[in-house]
């Protein structure tokens, strides 16, 4: 019986028919998706913090409005993603609980600090750029609600990326101090950004199953290479340097070769030792705990209203 | 027609929007509920938009190379004309909500009238902003009611917020010389009528929220509209203007 269901399920996937919340699905497929979608949602919410850090210091009114709108978009993305995960039978509060307890992860990139205005540009260009590389294939992912959320998200993300690049472009044409700021931001964000694609394929145990279920469409290394190829060209427009002395065009592979990634750093940050892990999580927990009375009041009021309406109706 | 009064009047509208928008934007990423984080950031965004429209108009009136950014980023506290209410720290969610409600109710009646201004620019900006403020007023009214009539704790916090903020509401309706001039010249809004509407609105919402209206004889703070601020504004500007001050003349 189970076998039949599993066959129908895999047939659907093979025929590119979306899996919907009420369809039968293997428990591991459900769990993988809950993990991935909630991790993605948490990344949007935690990701608001490093950029939010510069909303009150944005250099002019136009930039302020764009940045605020961008960070607000991320809250919106978090909302779509939490909703998509909820269709798999987990509540938003449970997901928050997992984030706060450290059980659920979020993208490690947000454990790095935003030290200058140029970081806002670098995040847009590199971090959002890497995110888009990961996310565009997710618009065709096999689980319907996730795929549909991603279609909306990708539209906004590409706008964010252009904004980030434009910030860097403006800085690169600016004063010496501004150019220095831009180069420094790229120096700090480059390696963490290419680590965003996750461990190399031979170190990524979940990839095979996820590809078979068409949750993932490309491997980590494929996406990373694609991203590096794009950035290696774009940096020329900025007249700045990617901090990798081994980065060079390889005629025979048709790709850029790149230097050794410091996976020790990657795992250290994943395990909680990045520069801002504690700070980010504490900030989220604080917002949640300090908001408890607000949520209680909203529930209590909704309850009172319902009762009054019942009384009036009777 | 007193041009300086028109400039000051416009700047006051711009400064109010910028400063309360700045305060609301501090909530972005820290809200108590994700949907409300989005709502308050959205209100902040509306305000930045309103501020830009008013600053651009003021800059055009001033000339001499003034821009929306030189007005926002290169004036000191003494030249800012926002009401004290808008610069007060956010406090807890109750305090932010109540500040928003008081100010949105004020702006609702102000912009409603300003749409009929003889100054076409002001009228046009007010018309667009009125739609936004109508939503802000609805949103903040609902929250005042929810918190006032929610739990014991939320009610206590609202009472505390009233105590903190009420004395800053008088200034909203206290006409400065340039506001008086704006009425004389026919483009500004007289406060008498809108103060009455404001009191009525606050009364209705407080009643539903089961919250008391403070006594009429409470001393009112003022000064912001004349450039005499609380200590808070200096810090807002220090933060907001940092890049423009540290890298003079740079393009961003």
Domain-embedded: residue B176: yes
Collapsing DSSP states into helix, strand and coil, what is residue B95?
Answer: helix
Domain-embedded: residue B18: yes
Distance of residue A301 Cα from the nearest chain B Cα, in angstroms: 5
Domain-embedded: residue B14: yes
Domain-embedded: residue B131: yes
Instruction: Look at chain B and report how many structural domains it folds into.
Output: 1
B52 and chain A: CB distance < 8 Å anywhere?
Answer: yes
Distance of residue A85 Cα from the nearest chain B Cα, in angstroms: 15
Domain-embedded: residue B252: no
Distance of residue A155 Cα from the nearest chain B Cα, in angstroms: 19
- From chain B, the residues in CB contact with A179 under 8 A are none
**C-alpha pair distances (Å), A308 with each of A102, A294, A314, B141, B212:** 41, 21, 10, 19, 22
B46-71 b/e with 16+ CB inside 10 Å = b? bbbbbbbbbbbbbbeebeeebbbbbb
CA nearest A123: which of A108, A109, A107?
A109
Write out the residue range of the structural domain in which residue B86 sits: 3-246
B93 and chain A: CB distance < 8 Å anywhere?
Answer: yes
Domain-embedded: residue B251: no
Paired strand residues for A250: A255
pLDDT by residue, tens only, chain B of 252 residues: 899 999 999 999 999 999 999 999 999 999 999 999 999 999 999 999 999 999 999 999 999 999 999 999 999 999 999 999 999 999 999 999 999 999 999 999 999 999 999 999 999 999 999 999 999 999 999 999 999 999 999 999 999 999 999 999 999 999 999 999 999 999 999 999 899 999 999 999 999 999 999 998 999 999 999 999 999 999 999 999 999 999 999 999
Q: How far is A46 from A35, CA to CA, in rounded Å?
A: 16
ipTM given for this complex: 0.97
The number of beta carbons lying within 10 Å of the beta carbon of residue B78 is 12
Q: How far is B173 from B136, CA to CA, in rounded Å?
A: 20
Domain-embedded: residue B111: yes
* Nearest beta carbon to residue B52 from set A48, A61, A71: A61
pLDDT tens column, A165-175:
999 999 999 99
Domain-embedded: residue B182: yes
User: Which CATH number belongs to the domain containing residue B13 in this structure?
Assistant: 1.20.1260.10
CB A229 within 8 A of CB A206: no
Nearest chain A residue (CA) to B32: A291
Q: How far is A170 from A187, CA to CA, in rounded Å?
A: 17
With 80 as the cut, is the pLDDT of residue A313 above it? no
């Amino acid at each position: 019986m189970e076998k039949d269901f599993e066959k129908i399920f895999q047939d659907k996937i093979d025929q590119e028919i979306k899996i919907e919340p009420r369809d039968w699905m293997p428990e591991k497929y459900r769990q993988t998706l809950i993990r991935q979608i909630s991790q993605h949602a948490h990344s949007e919410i935690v990701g608001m913090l490093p950029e939010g850090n510069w909303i009150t210091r944005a250099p002019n009114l136009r930039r302020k409005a764009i940045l605020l709108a961008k960070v607000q978009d991320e809250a919106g993305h978090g909302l779509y993603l939490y909703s998509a995960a909820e269709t798999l039978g987990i509540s938003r509060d449970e997901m928050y609980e997992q984030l706060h307890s450290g059980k659920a992860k979020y993208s490690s990139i947000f454990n790095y600090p935003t030290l200058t205005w140029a970081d806002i540009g670098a995040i847009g260009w590199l971090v959002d750029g890497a995110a888009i590389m990961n996310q565009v294939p997710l618009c065709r992912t096999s689980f319907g609600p996730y795929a549909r959320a991603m279609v909306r998200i990708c539209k906004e993300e590409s706008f964010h990326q252009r904004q980030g690049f434009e910030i860097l472009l403006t800085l690169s044409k600016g004063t010496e101090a501004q150019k220095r700021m831009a180069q420094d931001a790229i120096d700090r964000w480059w390696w963490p950004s290419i680590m965003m694609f996750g461990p190399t394929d031979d170190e990524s145990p979940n990839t095979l199953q996820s590809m078979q279920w068409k949750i993932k469409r490309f491997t980590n290394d494929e996406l990373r290479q694609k991203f590096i190829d794009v950035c290696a060209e774009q940096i020329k427009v900025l007249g700045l340097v990617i901090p990798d002395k081994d980065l060079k065009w390889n005629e025979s592979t048709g790709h850029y070769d790149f230097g050794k990634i410091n996976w020790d750093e990657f795992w250290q940050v994943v395990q909680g030792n990045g520069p801002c892990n504690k700070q980010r999580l504490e900030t989220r927990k604080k917002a949640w705990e300090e908001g408890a009375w607000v949520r209680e009041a909203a529930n209590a009021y909704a309850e009172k209203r319902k009762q009054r309406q019942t009384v009036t109706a009777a | 027609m007193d041009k300086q009064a028109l400039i000051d009047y416009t700047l006051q509208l711009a400064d109010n929007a910028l400063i309360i928008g700045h305060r609301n934007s501090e909530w972005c990423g820290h809200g108590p509920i994700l949907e409300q984080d989005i709502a308050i950031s959205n209100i902040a965004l509306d305000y930045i938009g309103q501020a830009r429209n008013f600053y651009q108009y003021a800059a055009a009136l001033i000339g001499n190379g003034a821009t929306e950014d030189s007005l926002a980023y290169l004036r000191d506290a003494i030249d800012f004309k926002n009401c004290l209410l808008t610069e007060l720290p956010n406090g807890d969610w109750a305090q932010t909500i109540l500040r928003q409600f008081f100010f949105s109710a004020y702006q609702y009646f102000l912009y409603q009238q300003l749409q009929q201004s003889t100054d076409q620019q002001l009228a046009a900006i007010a018309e667009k902003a009125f739609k936004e403020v109508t939503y802000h007023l609805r949103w903040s009214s609902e929250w005042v009611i929810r918190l006032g009539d929610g739990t014991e704790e939320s009610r206590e916090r609202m009472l505390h917020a009233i105590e903190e903020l009420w004395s800053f509401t008088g200034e909203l309706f206290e006409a400065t010389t340039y506001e008086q001039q704006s009425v004389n010249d026919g483009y500004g809004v007289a406060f008498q009528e809108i103060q009455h509407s404001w009191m009525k609105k606050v009364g209705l919402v407080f009643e539903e929220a089961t919250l008391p209206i403070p006594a009429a004889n409470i001393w009112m703070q003022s000064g912001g509209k004349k450039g005499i601020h609380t200590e808070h504004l200096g810090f807002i500007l220090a933060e907001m203007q940092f890049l423009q001050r540290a890298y003079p003349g740079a393009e961003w």
